[in-house]
Amino acid sequence: MEKMSFSLLRTSGLSINNLFSLVKSSADISIPVQSYLGEMVNAALTKMMADNEKFGEQINKNQKSGLTDELIPLDKDRDDVQYEINRDITYHLKGSDTVKKTAAQTLKLFQTPYWNAPKLPLNTQTGVVYEMLGKYKSSPILMAAARELGIDAKYALLEVRNNAFDTKYKNRNDEAPDHQTSGSSLKPAVVDSYTTFCTAMEQAVNLAPNDQNIALFYKLDELRKKYHALGGNGKDTPPVDGGAK
């Protein structure tokens, strides 16, 4: 069997927001199959997730400190409406009305990956909310559940507020392209832990393959390909991440 290796990716060349998103997405698709990954991969996954959580907190703090007076209330507005949606779902989960409780369970299952979106770095939060709303609007079941709870208008409002923030944020950056969040002191640690995780995954699929870790390997590699152009200007570069290719 030919040795499996990840596609090239210059992880250290990614912006802080793109690096955070890559690692978060990698963790999100790994968690459901943790029981098939083995002790070494799981240890690397746990470390990677912990480092990325601290990384995201620092990015968010840095970005919010640089917001203009116009952006601060727009960010708070969209955070507030998502927190309201979360609170409404939680309230009905505890209620005695079985119809509403079932609707709340449907929405809670859907919302779980997006529950803490307001705590994400600003650019990441915008993209995550767009993704969430896209899935919501394409699902008659989710929209019906929201109507049952009387919160469909809040989903519509969240879209309005996310659009407003995104438009103002992009206009701000267009007007002042040099006004960008500087590099994070935690970036090297995240690059290192992501590299360790990828190296562990390569070893796992080559030395102890199973259907689950092989399927995950290919999903992780698709993510690497997606972010490759963002980190290396579309050109292959020598591995610089300490082992993972």
In this structure, are 39 and 121 located in the same domain?
A: no
Is 240 part of a structural domain of the chain? no
Which domain-ending residue is among 175, 203, 220?
175
Q: Are 109 and 79 contained in the same domain? A: yes
Q: What per-residue confidence (pLDDT) applies to 182?
A: 45
Give burial (CB, 10 Å; 0-12/13-18/19+) of 30: buried
162 and 204 inside one domain: no
Residue for token digits 């392209």? 177
Cβ neighbours, 10 Å, residue 81: 22
237 in a structural domain: no
The stretches in the chain having pLDDT less than 70 are 1, 65-67, 173-183, 229-245
Residue 3 lies in a domain: no
Give this prediction's pTM.
0.65
* One-letter amino acid for residue 126 of the chain: T
Conformational region of residue 233, where left means phi above 0, alpha means psi within -120 to 50, and beta covers everything else = left
Same domain, 49 and 72: no
Give the residue from 215, 115, 210, 130 showing the smallest Cα distance to 166.
130
Q: Which residue has the tokens 């562990």?
A: 200
Question: CA 37, CA 178: separation in Å to the nearest integer?
Answer: 43
In angstroms, the CA 245 to CA 241 distance is 8
The answer to whether 237 and 34 are in contact (CB under 8 A) is no
Query: How many structural domains comprise the chain?
Result: 2
Residue 45 sits in the same domain as residue 108: no
- Domain range for 93 is 68-175
What was the pLDDT predicted at 174?
57
In a domain, 245, yes or no: no
Q: Contact, 132 vs 117, CB < 8 A?
A: yes
Domain boundary among 153, 175, 197: 175
Q: In this predicted structure, what is the pLDDT of residue 164?
A: 93
**Per-residue pLDDT tens digits for 15-55:** 888 899 899 999 999 999 999 999 999 999 999 999 999 99
Q: What secondary structure does DSSP assign to the chain, as a single string?
A: -PPP-PPP--GGGS-HHHHHHHHHHHHHHHGGGGGGT-HHHHHHHHHHHHHHHHHHHHHHHHHHHT--TTHHHHHHHHHHHHHHHHHHHHHHHTSS-HHHHHHHHHHHHHHGGGTTGGGS-HHHHHHHHHHHHHHHHT-HHHHHHHHHHT-HHHHHHHHHHHHHHHHHHHHHHHH-TT--PPPPTTHHHHHHHHHHHHHHHHHHHHHS--HHHHHHHHHHHHHHHHHHHHHHTTS-----SSS--
Residue 1 lies in a domain: no
Based on the fold, state whether residues 121 and 215 are members of the same structural domain: no
Label each residue of 155-173 as H, E or C. HHHHHHHHHHHHHHHHHHH
Reading the block at residue 237, the tokens are 């570069």
